[in-house]
Chain A
Amino acid sequence: MRNFLSKRSAECRDFRSQLEDAASATPGAKELSELLTAAPAALKEHAAACSACRAAAENILEARALLAELPSHAAMAGPWFAPRVMVAIAARKAEISRAADTWTFLPRLAARLTWASSIALLLASAWLYQRPATMPAAATSAKAVATDITGDPVVDPATQSGGDDEFLLSLAEKQHR
């Protein structure tokens, strides 16, 4: 009994494997006999004896009848399609070359920018270097304008550029007057 069952299941496996090929060979088949026209004799015998395998073959016919309602998309393609793709490719190529142009223009611009910025940097550093030397002179001239209550200029000893001697001399001159 066990041997019989395992033999049967092996036959069923073979049947189902070959059934697909047999069905592919008869795309227009409407009945089981037509479906198995191209199948080997052993396959036909098995279909007659095994109800499960017969049902599997009938499923193919039923599924085919159902799916016959669906339209094929392959038929949508036509001679118009290849030129349309070539136009899209040309457009894409133009887009890529435009983008490439932008990127090749940038380095040229970058070289000019480097020159301009290094000159600007040089000028700025020269100006900064000169600036601290001119600052105290400006401060002294501003302070020299200040006068005391008598109208004499006020001399701040801390900012006096001439040193202590000059300060003492100016005080002596004041007292002498």
Chain B
Amino acid sequence: MPRVPKVEPLGPSASTAGAKPPAAKAPGAMDDRELVRRAQGEDQEAFEELIRRHQHRVFAVAGGILRRREDVEDIAQQVFVKAYFSLKRFDQRAAFSTWLYKITVNECWDLLRKKKVRPLVYESDLSEEQARQVIASEEKGGGGPDISDRLEARQRVERLLEGLDERDRLMLILKEVEGFAVEEIAQVLDLNANTVKVRLFRARRRIVNKVRKRGEE
């Protein structure tokens, strides 16, 4: 299972711990709190470091809701641009990651509302690049049927997920595909960790039951 690189836990700021002045540190060595403070003071390098640190998780969350590669890329970019221009208003009472996830989720729902499309779009699920790869591998003849089988299986799973509530679907994808911890999913969706566990349990039971039913038919 692919794992998203973990975001550095939010601890006490190194600058407040007091050993070295913040200017002596490279952005990569700073914690989120310090980076945010610097980015609020127009430090571009600090903001770039924040992007590098959180981009995988933003892609994962956006991908869990939108699925289409092009939409995911655009929304991820939009999220960071929005975060940059709203950073001065961010008071750091919550973790930067929590704030960023909320922007991501809101942007995704907004896009879906604007487009009035369903989150899972099977026919355009493959990007042009992916489609070219599939065609090229089929032309070579090596592993061609294998790839089309996998694509079919993927579409089957996405159809199964379509029967779930949008939030439950996102939870399952974040947990089983993107490797998020229950606490992180709770952060993303602004829910209690126990609620996430219960909903995950029910969502799994629902899709497994569907598969069994289809198998019996």
A-side residues, CB < 8 A to B, are 16-17, 19-21, 24, 27-28, 56, 59-60, 62-64, 66-77, 79, 81-86, 88-89, 92
Residues of A within 8 A of B191 (CB): none
Interface of B is mostly: helix
Size class of the contact patch on chain B: 35 or more
Residues of B within 8 A of A27 (CB): 1, 3, 179
Residues of B within 8 A of A60 (CB): 204
User: Is A76's CB under 8 angstroms from B84's CB?
Assistant: no
B194 vs chain A, min Cβ distance (A): 7
| Interface pick from B18-26, B29-37, B150-158 | B150-158
Interface of A is mostly: helix
Residues of B within 8 A of A71 (CB): 154, 177
What separation, in Å, do the CA atoms of A19 and B59 have in the docked complex? Answer: 28
What separation, in Å, do the CA atoms of A86 and B52 have in the docked complex? Answer: 11
A87 vs chain B, min Cβ distance (A): 10
Residues of A within 8 A of B203 (CB): 63
User: Is A28's CB under 8 angstroms from B1's CB?
Assistant: yes
Q: List 12 A-B contacts (CB under 8 A).
A: A20-B200, A24-B182, A56-B205, A63-B172, A64-B1, A68-B1, A69-B157, A72-B4, A74-B2, A74-B57, A81-B55, A89-B84
Residues of A within 8 A of B205 (CB): 56, 59
